[in-house]
């Protein structure tokens, strides 16, 4: 295993260990912004690092035969996971019981890995375009959820699970968490989608140049 190729995988696994075994996990069950930091750390930092590392080390790993269907399934699953766990009853259940909290965190990781894999594993033009669209959709719904949390005039969740953190009152802490979701939850997918779009454009330009060179070589 090459160290230079495998460092994203190692970094992602180390980050995941710190997120789940460090103090943030306990804070996340008592205040909203730590919950959101934990969520985003898993989905938009650890998950893509793990996927990038696996793709660098094992470029021949599984690719879906039906990329559009796989992208739709991964995007829908990620949407349901994110919005479902932020419904008051589900969020409060995860805060109350350790087993449900573990299930919540595991589902965040699986959803993140599935989505980033589908988006980043594409090779041909069609797969890259599908990945870019999936990232755009994800950025939109993450931003929308964050904005809803920011503009909420009162606490959405039970007060015992929104005690405030980092010196903030509970409502301000909830709004901080929403702001993190709206910005840091959406931005990585916007950037990722833009990079995929630029990669697609570069491939199309390269194919155009090859076609011109072939035509010129063949002559009239």
Helix axes 125-151, 98-120, angle to 10 degrees: 140
pLDDT in tens, 58-85: 877 767 778 788 889 999 999 999 999 9
What is residue 70's predicted lDDT score, i.e. its pLDDT? 87
Please give the Cα distance from 8 to 19 (Å, whole number). Answer: 16
Q: Is 70 exceeded by the pLDDT of residue 212?
A: no
Q: Give per-residue pLDDT as tens, 113-161.
A: 999 998 888 777 788 888 888 989 999 999 999 999 999 999 999 999 9
Give the dihedral of Cα atoms 67, 69, 70, 71; nearest 10 deg. 80
CB atoms within 10 A of CB 37: 21
């Amino acid at each position: 295993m090459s160290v230079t190729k495998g460092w994203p995988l190692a970094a992602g696994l180390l980050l995941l260990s710190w997120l789940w075994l460090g103090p943030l996990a306990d804070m996340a069950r008592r205040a909203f912004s730590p919950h959101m930091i934990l969520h985003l750390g898993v989905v938009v930092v650890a998950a893509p690092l793990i996927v990038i590392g696996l793709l660098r080390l094992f470029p021949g790993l599984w690719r879906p035969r039906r990329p559009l269907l796989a992208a739709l399934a991964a995007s829908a699953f990620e949407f349901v996971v994110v919005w479902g766990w932020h419904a008051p009853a589900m969020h409060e259940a995860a805060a109350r019981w350790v087993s449900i909290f573990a299930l919540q965190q595991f589902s965040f990781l699986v959803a993140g890995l599935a989505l980033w894999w589908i988006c980043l594993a594409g090779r041909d033009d069609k797969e890259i375009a599908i990945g870019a669209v999936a990232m755009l959709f994800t950025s939109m719904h993450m931003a929308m959820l964050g904005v809803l949390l920011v503009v909420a005039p009162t606490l959405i969740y039970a007060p015992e699970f929104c005690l405030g953190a980092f010196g903030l009152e509970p409502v301000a802490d909830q709004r901080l968490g929403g702001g993190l979701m709206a910005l840091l939850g959406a931005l990585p997918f916007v950037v990722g989608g833009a990079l995929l779009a630029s990669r697609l454009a570069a491939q199309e330009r390269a194919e155009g140049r090859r076609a011109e060179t072939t035509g010129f070589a063949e002559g009239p």
